[in-house]
Structure 1
Amino acid sequence: MNTSELFYSRMKSAWTYAMRIIRVIIGGGGTPLILGIVLIALYFAYQQFLAWVPADFPIDFMLTIPYTLLVTSSRVRTWVKPADLVFLLPVETQMKPYFRASLTYSAAVHLIHLGILTLLAYPLFFIMWKSNLAIVLAYLFFTLLQVYNVLIEWWEMRLTVSLARNKIRMVTAGRFFLNGGTVFFFLNQHAAGVLGTAVGLFALGWYLRRQVPVIPYPWHLMQAQEQNIRTRYHALAGMFVDLPRLKTPVRKRKWFTRFLPHWSTQTASAYLFWRAFFRKSELFPISIRLIIWAMIFIAVFPNRWVVFAVYLGCVWMFSVQLPSLAHSQQYPIIHKLYPLPPKQWKQGLRSIGLVTIGIQTLSIALFAWLAGAMLLTETMLLIAVGGILTYTISYFYLPRSKQQKMA
């Protein structure tokens, strides 16, 4: 049995489905226009930032962060399905070609991401080194580092069948610091530092490789990771087009849900929406990631126009996803056994919109002020605009969208 053909068949099917969604997004409504406006605003802000960069600006440190994150998060895409735990388990000893193809595909995708990052960072590299040859050599070095991290990521996954997850997390943390040191020393052209951290990274990989068992493969982990990847991509595409819901895992998150009676204003709909927000939907991690990425953009490009573009972009990307909490498929049993009046459903969605969007707009505005991207008066004006947006979205957009989702 040539299991590599099975991998490429699944890859082709997944990309065919993804391309159909991308074509719908490109040809749908004002999405291309909004994205184009955001990209143009970021382009002009990037140009202003490059013109502003002083001679003593720590470009090496700024580039170390994205490159370290990119090479460390070398996720392996396996396309393992729930049924594989039954049907592929008997041929587990023949699955090596399948996972070899998976590693090849994953490495290729990560190298594309690495190339895009290098193209975006090219002006900064040129300011720092003034040499195109040095930039090419840097990309080749980071390519080797990226491919090696894909292998280590795969060995870490394989070791979850014999080691506790907290030990694997410690290994990943160590790999993150070794990658960060390697990237930083390379950008500073510190040969001894690069050699030391690279030897440490090689020793870590060599040790992990010796500990990896031949079988079994971590089927449950691969299936769970694949489900999480699909859910994230589905949530991202759902910002632009309506898609059928995926089965998402339920996470306890007791440290949030214990406060629900206070946040839900004692209404069943609000309690239900908050519970789904924290435990089942992808909206909670999406909201956190949007705030983090907004802060990174503002810290790297401290410009008022960047702040405004990122501000509007984050609010828009989160607001178009929020009505999915009110989807009738989210609570099929409750709709049958405990029907609530439409007014209460609207009130519940309105309350969660006021809190989540309000926190998002306020945190981004305050961070822009702390980062020096805006003056205090401009920050207060931005907070006022955020309050108007929060009220408008919560009281007019969300209730109207709820009627379509609950239909």
Structure 2
Amino acid sequence: MLDGKKLFVDRLTAHIKELSRYLRYILTGHIVIAMVFIISAMSVYYQKFLENIPDQFPSGLVIALVLGLATFHSPIQTMLKKADMVFLLPAEHVLTGYFTRTLVYSFVTQLYVLILTAAALAPLYSTAFAGGVPYGFILLVLLIIKVWSLTANWWMLRVRDGGTRRMDKIVRYALIVSVIYFFLLQEMLFLAIVTALLIGLFVTNFQFAQKQKALNWDLLIENDYLRMRSFYRLANMFTDVPHMETQVKKRHWLARMLTSAVPFQQQKAYTYLYRLTTVRSGEYFGIYLRLLVIGGLLIYFVPNQWLKLIFAILFIYMVFLQLLPLWKHHVTIVWLDLYPIGQELRKQSFVKWLQQLIMVLALIFTVLLLLIGNWLMAILMVVASMLFVQMFIPSYLDKKMAQ
């Protein structure tokens, strides 16, 4: 007889062991140091902003949107494997205890996100709603809503129609934000109406889920796989993750734009390969754009000129670290060993492509500094980026590739 409790303990032990295996590399890495610096600098300006907060600033809406997102976001870690579709699916009727424990585990592990978000917004709440409802009482309400959101998310995972699940998420997030917003403003009539709608949605979710005869095992396994793949992608920046799988996206127009200029020559084979991999991989292109946008926003909004330059250099360095795993992206593909191309030419192609990507990023940051009138910082940015591209990248990669 299958023991759901023992299965959960075994899966949880293996899961924690797998996470701790890579977390020790992540928590001692360069990106953590950079993020600590960025957060420390932003907290200083956050405090200055609160001291001179404009009267028309929508504090209630901002708090509701951010806290609503932290409360609404309720992924469920079931720790299922692909083979479970064969071996555990027939025993679903005896796994109620197992899935109940995974829900509790998911809730506990998500509390830190809600707590950190609430802690970050506490100064804004104290400034904008001094003398209002005690902040601790708001957190208690959020915990109750969080339990509901997690339960509703679990019920909706029984539904196979993706459009229905997306609509449920949109409505649920809107209602959670509305409850928090009206609670902050003490609009009791609107709060009562939205709360009634929230309860109605909860009942509807339950009734809808009861009509579904079985769990969507394929969806549960896919969701777990995507979460672990994101974690492995992060860990791969600090150490090798041999079993990491990648996701390919076609992106025809962008791939054509980057590869059309590459001549059809033997010595350009790796140039073509690395460009195509960067564009079509589900990791490199996305993280490149995200860090570009976040870095650009910080450069634009941070008032201190020297911090603008520091942030620009930091984000260039972070993008560089994110792109390093591209060197070993094809390490498990044996066909590359059949290429009649020397290892030195491959290294040159990789270094050159990485330099080009960093130069594009540095150029965008420089143009942004020029647009906001920081000519001195723009000039220093050009000098710093040239030194980084021409001196740091080749010397660093020589050591890295030799390992």
TM range (shorter): 0.7 to 0.9
Pick which of 38-47 and 339-348 moved more: 339-348
| SS of residue paired to 1:216 | coil
Equivalent in 236, 239, 242 of residue 238 of structure 1: 236
Contact 2:259 2:275 (8 Å CA) reproduced: no
Counterpart code for 1:58: P
- In 2, the alpha carbon distance for the partners of 1:223 and 1:106 equals 15
Counterpart code for 1:385: M
Contact 2:159 2:212 (8 Å CA) reproduced: no
Q: What does residue 117 of structure 2 align with?
A: 117
Any idea what the Cα deviations from partners look like across 1:299-334, whole Å, max 9, x if unmatched?
886655664554344322221121211216446233
Kindly, what percent of the aligned residue pairs are identical? 23
Matched, 1:316 2:317: yes
Contact 1:250 1:279 (8 Å CA) reproduced: yes
Q: What does residue 220 of structure 1 align with?
A: 218
Contact 1:270 1:347 (8 Å CA) reproduced: no
Contact 1:239 1:317 (8 Å CA) reproduced: no
- In 2, the alpha carbon distance for the partners of 1:83 and 1:96 equals 19
Shift of 1:363: 5.4
Q: For residues 98 and 18 of structure 1, do their structure 2 counterparts lie closer, same or farther at Cα, with a shift above 3 Å needed?
A: same
Any idea what the Cα deviations from partners look like across 1:332-382, whole Å, max 9, x if unmatched?
233222243445434543454355434545556777898xxxx4225x734
Matched, 1:397 2:375: no
Counterpart code for 2:11: R
Gapped runs of 5+ residues in structure 1?
none
Contact 2:274 2:350 (8 Å CA) reproduced: yes
- In 2, the alpha carbon distance for the partners of 1:198 and 1:387 equals 57
Q: For residues 339 and 79 of structure 1, do their structure 2 counterparts lie closer, same or farther at Cα, with a shift above 3 Å needed?
A: farther
Q: What does residue 88 of structure 1 align with?
A: 88
Matches for 1:337-356 after TM superposition, within 5 Å:
337-342=338-343, 344-350=345-351, 352-354=353-355, 356=357
- In 2, the alpha carbon distance for the partners of 1:172 and 1:41 equals 34
Q: What does residue 144 of structure 2 align with?
A: 144
Equivalent in 204, 207, 217 of residue 204 of structure 2: 207
Matched, 1:166 2:191: no
Pick which of 254-263 and 220-229 moved more: 254-263
| SS of residue paired to 1:54 | coil
Matches for 1:65-80 after TM superposition, within 5 Å:
65-80=65-80
Q: What does residue 3 of structure 2 align with?
A: 2
Counterpart code for 1:72: F
Q: What does residue 251 of structure 1 align with?
A: 249
Q: What does residue 377 of structure 2 align with?
A: 381
| SS of residue paired to 1:44 | helix
Counterpart code for 2:128: M
Q: What does residue 276 of structure 2 align with?
A: 275
Any idea what the Cα deviations from partners look like across 1:84-119, whole Å, max 9, x if unmatched?
111111211222222111111112222221111111
Counterpart code for 1:61: L
Q: What does residue 196 of structure 1 align with?
A: 193
Counterpart code for 1:216: A
- In 2, the alpha carbon distance for the partners of 1:306 and 1:142 equals 36
Shift of 1:198: 2.9
Counterpart code for 1:8: V
Matches for 1:33-112 after TM superposition, within 5 Å:
33-112=33-112
Contact 2:351 2:397 (8 Å CA) reproduced: no
Computing the radius of gyration over CA atoms, which structure comes out larger, 1 or 2?
2
| SS of residue paired to 1:182 | helix
Shift of 1:57: 2.5
Instruction: Report the TM-score when normalising by structure 2.
Output: 0.83
Shift of 1:214: 4.9
Pick which of 139-148 and 168-177 moved more: 168-177
- In 1, the alpha carbon distance for the partners of 2:40 and 2:262 equals 40
Give the total of aligned pairs: 398
- In 1, the alpha carbon distance for the partners of 2:131 and 2:279 equals 49
Contact 1:362 1:383 (8 Å CA) reproduced: no
Shift of 1:151: 1.7
Pick which of 260-269 and 14-23 moved more: 260-269
Q: For residues 219 and 250 of structure 1, do their structure 2 counterparts lie closer, same or farther at Cα, with a shift above 3 Å needed?
A: farther
Any idea what the Cα deviations from partners look like across 1:60-83, whole Å, max 9, x if unmatched?
222233223222321111111111
- In 2, the alpha carbon distance for the partners of 1:219 and 1:241 equals 31
Q: For residues 12 and 52 of structure 1, do their structure 2 counterparts lie closer, same or farther at Cα, with a shift above 3 Å needed?
A: farther
Contact 2:70 2:114 (8 Å CA) reproduced: yes
Q: For residues 26 and 71 of structure 1, do their structure 2 counterparts lie closer, same or farther at Cα, with a shift above 3 Å needed?
A: closer
Q: For residues 47 and 72 of structure 1, do their structure 2 counterparts lie closer, same or farther at Cα, with a shift above 3 Å needed?
A: same
Gapped runs of 5+ residues in structure 2?
none
